[in-house]
Amino acid sequence: MNLYEYEAKQIFAEFGIPIPPSVRITKAEELSKVLFGYPLVLKCQVLSGGRGKAGGVKFPKDLKEGQKIAAELLKLTINGSPTRSLLVEPMLPIKQELYLSITLDRAQGTAIFIASKEGGIEIESSHNVVTMPVPYPYHPFTGRELAKQLGLSGPILVKVADIANKLYKLFEAKDLDLAEINPLIITEGGEVIAGDGKIIVNDDSLARQKTFTGWQESHLDELTDRERRAKLSGLNLVELKGKIGILCNGAGLTMATMDMVKAFGGEPANFLDVGGGSDQDKTLAALDIVNENPDIEVILLNILGGITACDEVASALVKFIKKNPQRQLVVRLRGNNQDLAEKILADSGLKLIKDLEPAVQEAVDRSNSARGKGAPVAAK
Amino acid sequence: MILVDKDTKVIVQGATGKMGGAHAKRMLDYGTKLVAGVTPGKAGERVHGIPVFDTVQEAVDKTQADCSVIFVPPYLALDAGCEAAEAGIKTIVVITEGIPPQDTVKLVHYLKEKDALLIGPNCPGVISPGACLVGILPGSIFKPGRIGMVSRSGTLTYEIALALSDAGLGQSTCVGIGGDPIKGLDYQTILTLFEKDPGTEAIVLIGEIGGSAEEEAAAFIKEKCKKPVVAYIAGQTAPPGKRMGHAGAIVTGGKGTAQSKIEALNAARVKIASTPSQVAKFVAEVAKLPAKT
């Protein structure tokens, strides 16, 4: 779950990382109550990246200009994420900008510090990146070592080291995938302050992080409506632009099925992994949500039952067909309780295909012929 | 075969749960030497005839178990894994999906110190067909033979095993290393074991988008593997920036694409199949084993 900048900064502050004074506004008029003096900084609060490039950060020179710009910014949608509020901060006297983040390094299997003497730019374009695997258990000398490697010295080294240590503490305490300060500002007066903040909370940890209880629904801007509803009901849906709805069990098999659909000349409309051990209700919910997509011509259901029992899937299919008799369905079912599934589906008229590749071919053929006729098969 | 065989003595942590219980039965039916279950507070009960203990230590003392398969809920898995390692278990298979990655970091670290192997998490387990099944793989799909398999996926592994078995190409051992970004054993460790295993003739590597594990495996194969390797990479049609089910299956910043993995494996002279049945075809060619048509 991505957090907004203002939320990330509140968490920084809780852990003792210095942040600039700020006010969050949702209406341009509220700017008149902000007494930081001008020029000041107005920043769109969005969940997507690329805010600066998209014009989501402005520096008005007086209140009049500020209110005009604020009204414009509040209408801005950046990479799919609408601006619902603005963060207002005073301009800081910047001497230097650094980059500091912690994330998980897959290859090394540890948390890792990523830092640079060049802040305020995308880290990918920096040439002075310092990386440091985080030892487990953690010791604060790690922060000092990192600051040293950034070429810092004196009180600034001590302050940056302290911030790095606090950033690790919150990264661990809040179960984050990413904690990023970019830029980490060194002011003319020798203060070190988090100029911006990005936090990604690990989705699997949300249930044990009470801070974030109930946050997820308001932090899913990057998803389509159907993807959002799928996620909230425990299904993994990613929508694409194609015509063949796909429903499988297991992420690898779902991806492989999509790849084969494409290789056989079809276009996958989605990725949907119902997960292992899904029962009737979950399978039916998954079928329903794929079926809602108006672009699809045929649904390809591919279940290889390991934990998943084929008879549960078959029962869901019977209910689905009853509701949607016109829907083109290609079903590949194999594995655990396959014989029971065949019995359940015997009266439905639905042909079960035992092997994957012929099933994919059948779905692609049906999709192509649906288009050949110029009329997509209606859902009802 | 590698990792598990007919003498492996297995315990189930979380044996009295729905998943643990159901799969304990299937492992027993398969012929796995399942010697005990562990659920705190349930000592004295029996699950499908096997005794349940309160602690792993007690189970190990009474049964000399050397392998544990873990079915406990995600937030309890770190503790369960450490308990198994502390009790002297050397092969620890974590089936549980949804473990916070920072718990896995700690688990990996703890098990390394105890010299125990971690398989998973978020994996289907390990099977040496005909000898031992540890995990949730559907035993009937696998056939004894001389092909080693290693995979980040569950059901895709079954699909490819099915294609191999249908083609008369049995398997020595199949290992699911799991779909999480942070995990225990990597491809290289498993490849090393297969390289040394006289019962393995050729290796199938099943990969997917996200991370650089396949690229690292490719570099390893180029340097160290004498046995032929056939690979399948899932996720060529996955859009960037989207997590495809597995926590680890995501292309970020142009990294972790199927294309990059395929190129790296090609450079290591690994044959890349584009369908499960093609995996079987290529394996039959490289292993020079007779395949049924």
Q: In chain B, whose CA is at the least distance from the CA of A254?
A: B156
Query: Distance between CA A147 and CA A134 in Å, rounded?
Result: 14
The verdict on B254 touching A (C-beta cutoff 8 Å) is: no
Query: Distance between CA A75 and CA A77 in Å, rounded?
Result: 7
Token pair, residue B241, equals 């920036």
DSSP state of B230: E
Q: Is A99 a catalytic residue?
A: yes
Mean pLDDT (chain A, rounded) = 91
The partner residue sitting opposite B242, judged by closest CB among A238, A254, A273, is A238
Chain centroid offset of residue B87 CA = 22
- Report the b/e string of A269-289 with b at 16+ CB within 10 A: bbbbbbbbbbebebbbbbbeb
Q: In chain B, whose CA is at the least distance from the CA of A303?
A: B155
Q: Which of A308, A177, A168, A131 lies closest to B180, judged by CA? A: A177
Domains, in order of start, for chain A: 1-20+93-222 (3.30.470.20), 21-91 (3.30.1490.20), 224-372 (3.40.50.261)
pLDDT of amino acid A331 = 95
**What digits encode the pLDDT tens for the residues B132-178?**
999 999 999 999 999 999 999 989 999 999 999 999 999 999 999 99
The verdict on B155 touching A (C-beta cutoff 8 Å) is: yes
**Interval B198-202 mean pLDDT:** 96
The helix or strand, by DSSP H or E, that contains position A262, with its residue range, turns out to be helix A251-263
Token pair, residue A31, equals 């700017």
Mean pLDDT for each consecutive 10-residue tract of chain A (380 residues)? Answer: 96 98 96 93 92 94 96 93 95 95 92 92 80 91 96 97 98 96 96 97 95 90 86 89 94 95 96 84 93 95 82 92 93 86 86 91 93 49
**What digits encode the pLDDT tens for the residues B100-144?**
999 999 999 999 999 999 999 999 999 999 999 999 999 999 999
Domains, in order of start, for chain B: 9-119 (3.40.50.720), 138-287 (3.40.50.261)
Q: Residue type at B139?
A: G
pLDDT of amino acid A376 = 45
| Cβ–Cβ gap B211/A106 under 8 Å | yes
Q: Which residues contact A128 (CB under 8 A, 6 or more apart)?
A: A116, A117, A118
Q: In chain A, whose CA is at the least distance from the CA of B253?
A: A124
Query: Distance between CA B104 and CA B208 in Å, rounded?
Result: 20
Cβ atoms within 10 A of the Cβ of A94, count? 15
Token pair, residue A194, equals 């988090």
Q: Let me know how many helices (H) and strands (E) chain B has, helices first.
A: 9, 14
Q: Which of A237, A231, A229, A298 lies closest to A270, judged by CA? A: A237
The verdict on B106 touching A (C-beta cutoff 8 Å) is: yes
The verdict on B244 touching A (C-beta cutoff 8 Å) is: yes
pLDDT of amino acid B290 = 55
What part of A 7-66 touches B (C-beta under 8 Å)? Answer: none
φ/ψ of residue B229, rounded to 5: -125, 135
A129-133 and A57-58 strand pairing: unpaired
Cβ atoms within 10 A of the Cβ of A127, count? 7
Q: Residue type at A312?
A: E
pLDDT of amino acid B279 = 97
pLDDT of amino acid A224 = 85
Q: Which of A7, A99, A297, A362 is catalytic?
A: A99
The strand order across the sheet containing A57-58 reads: A23-25, A86-90, A40-44, A57-58
Residues in chain A within 8 Å Cβ distance of B108: 109
Mean pLDDT (chain B, rounded) = 94
Contact predicate B8/B33, CB 8 Å: yes
What distance in Å separates residue A44's CA from the closest CA in chain B? 22
Burial class of residue A379, CB neighbours in 10 A (0-12, 13-18, 19+)? middle
**What digits encode the pLDDT tens for the residues B234-281?**
999 998 888 888 878 888 777 899 999 999 999 999 999 999 999 999
pLDDT of amino acid A223 = 83
- Report the b/e string of B248-283 with b at 16+ CB within 10 A: bbbbeeeebbbebbbebbeebebbbbebbbbbbbbb
Residues in chain A within 8 Å Cβ distance of B238: 238, 255, 258, 271
Is the pLDDT confidence value at B89 over 70? Answer: yes
Q: E strands, B209-250, where?
A: 229-234
Q: Which residues contact B274 (CB under 8 A, 6 or more apart)?
A: A259, A260, A263, B232
Is the pLDDT confidence value at B185 over 90? Answer: yes
Residues in chain B within 8 Å Cβ distance of A357: 275-277
pLDDT of amino acid B105 = 96
pLDDT of amino acid B207 = 96
ipTM: 0.93
Cβ contacts of B258-263, under 8 Å, gap ≥ 24: B258/B208, B258/B209, B258/B233, B258/B234, B260/B215, B261/B207, B261/B209, B261/B214, B261/B215, B261/B218, B261/B233, B262/B233
Q: Which of A180, A239, A297, A312 is catalytic?
A: A180
| Cβ–Cβ gap B237/A259 under 8 Å | yes
Residues in chain A within 8 Å Cβ distance of B206: 252
Query: Distance between CA A341 and CA A332 in Å, rounded?
Result: 11
Q: Which of B40, B34, B98 lies closest to B67, judged by CA? A: B34
| Cβ–Cβ gap A271/B245 under 8 Å | yes
What distance in Å separates residue B78's CA from the closest CA in chain A? 13
Chain A contact probe: residue of B109, B112, B155, B246 with most A CBs at under 10 A? B155
The verdict on B76 touching A (C-beta cutoff 8 Å) is: no
